[in-house]
Amino acid sequence: MPQSSVNPATGKSLAVIADHSSTEVERLVARAAAAAATWRATPLDARTAMLRRMADLLDAENEPLARLATLEMGKPIVAARQEVAKCAVACRFYADQAPGYLAPERVVRDGRDDGAVHYLPLGVLLAIMPWNFPYWQAIRAAAPALAAGNVVMLKHASNVPQCALAIERLFVVAGARDGAFTTLLISGARAGALIDDPRIAAVTLTGSEAAGRDVGARAGRAVKPFVLELGGSDPFVVLASADIAAAAKTAAQARCINNGQSCIAAKRFIVHTAVYDAFVAQFTAAMRAMTMGDPLLDTTDIGPLATVSIRDEVADQVQRTVAAGARVVCGGSAPDGPGLFYPPTVLMDVPRDSAAAREEVFGPVAPLFRAANADEALALANDTAFGLGASVWTRDAAEASRFADGIEAGSVFINALMASDPRFPFGGVKASGIGRELAREGLRSFVNTKTVRGTA
């Protein structure tokens, strides 16, 4: 089945690109397997030089790359530019840090060198990536893997094939040639079957919980390392001592980032009863002030959702939540006209067993929950199957410390917007995933940590 690129703001087809045939896939996998031996033998300084060239290319082509992402999946153009720039930052980060992360670590006992721990590449990494951050998701997996001496095969989402091919072109121009980086144009089902191939050494996936379960089970049966970065239903907790104006402004940004289509977007807003009314008023005003429209305009805050199925699911989740007893404060229905738009939506009186409370809503919908005290707020924050990230707003240091340790998540941000950063490990707990990307931990997720002892 071909890869279809459709502009979600207009519904117009941008491109239809044929899938790789079985013969082509076999050729590309064989080429990657051969490249694995060559790339691991390439000196580290040459690999990091490639990443620096990649960063330069990303900066030089920021505008056309950003425009392509906006056209393919609807991201506001300002955010698309920021995404491309962040990819360049990640490439330079690993170019700078890989020598330290990969250096053998000596083990000393009683003043004598007793051996070392070496960090060596595994081979071919299969990266199965989603559409919502079409460059960042792929680059944050590929940059550390390539720095470590692995080669990468990218199976990207089928609605962003042009972005996927652009990433391959840039890596090849930067110096990851002859199969060191390859984009595979195949379906998810074919990618799953590829995990069984003995030439694939490891797998990383960013995607849904269901996809993670399938990939994890398959990689486990094949006894291959894997990292899963899955969904989230991140709590945004506002406690009694919070700066309400700052919290409300950031909350609207946190809920609407990437048109609400981000695993780390704030998705459940838990507010102490003492400041509930003030927060709701300011937060709702900030959500209403968002400009929805043409994502190619710099003034647009909210573009379309990426696909018909995503908008339909968001609309269904809102309808089911309202049917369960929630009240719509603003938004709540898709506008007429072309494009897959869904407005910023605020829901009050949300039942704790409703769709918006229990499911990940991948659109700009904000369910509000009132907490009687800090204990209830913490319990509500943890009352979810997910555990990706959280944002907590308080001016009480002891309270901040308690929530930082007490929230069951891979990241907790105090008085700040939740975001990924190459310097810090990224990932979740519970149904939000297994393993970590980024920082030292991300690079070492796909290396052979080898003990070497003795002398010749």
Within 177-234, where are the H helices?
188-194, 209-221
- R_g (Cα) of the chain, nearest Å: 23
The DSSP code for 427 is: -
Full set of structural domains in the chain with CATH: 3-230+430-452 (3.40.605.10), 234-414 (3.40.309.10)
Planar angle of CA 114, 425, 102, nearest 5 degrees: 35
Nearest to 100 by CA among 440, 445, 449, 451: 440
Q: Could you give the CA distance from residue 220 to residue 218 in angstroms, rounded to a whole number?
A: 5
Total residues belonging to the chain = 456
Has 313 been annotated as catalytic?
Answer: no
- Digit-by-digit pLDDT tens for the chain (456 residues) are 789 999 999 999 999 999 999 999 999 999 999 999 999 999 999 999 999 999 999 999 999 999 999 999 999 999 999 999 999 999 999 999 999 999 999 999 998 999 999 999 999 999 999 999 999 999 999 999 999 999 999 999 999 999 999 999 999 999 999 999 999 999 999 999 999 999 999 999 999 999 999 999 999 999 999 999 999 999 999 999 999 999 999 999 999 999 999 999 999 999 999 999 999 999 999 999 999 999 999 999 999 999 999 999 999 999 999 999 999 999 999 999 999 999 999 999 999 999 999 999 999 999 999 999 999 999 999 999 999 999 999 999 999 999 999 999 999 999 999 999 999 999 999 999 999 999 999 999 999 999 999 988
Which one of 168, 229, 408, 437 is the catalytic residue?
Answer: 229
Residues in CB range of 209: below 8 A, 6 or more apart: 230, 231, 385, 431
Has 163 been annotated as catalytic?
Answer: no
Could you tell me how far CA 128 lies from the centroid of its own chain?
12
Distances (CA, A) of 131 to 74, 139, 206, 229: 10, 13, 10, 14
Q: Could you give the CA distance from residue 395 to residue 3 in angstroms, rounded to a whole number?
A: 49
Nearest to 280 by CA among 251, 257, 317, 313: 251
Nearest to 246 by CA among 413, 360, 378: 413
105-109 sheet: strands from edge to edge: 105-109, 112-121, 447-452
Phi, psi (deg, nearest 5) at residue 370: -95, 130
Supply the pTM of this predicted model. Answer: 0.97
Which one of 263, 360, 399, 408 is the catalytic residue?
Answer: 263
3-class secondary structure per residue, 326-382: CEEEECCCCCCCCCCCCCCEEEECCCCCCHHHHCCCCCCEEEEEEECCHHHHHHHHH
CB-facing half-sphere around the CA of 280: CA atoms within 13 A: 19
Looking at residue 408, its amino acid is E
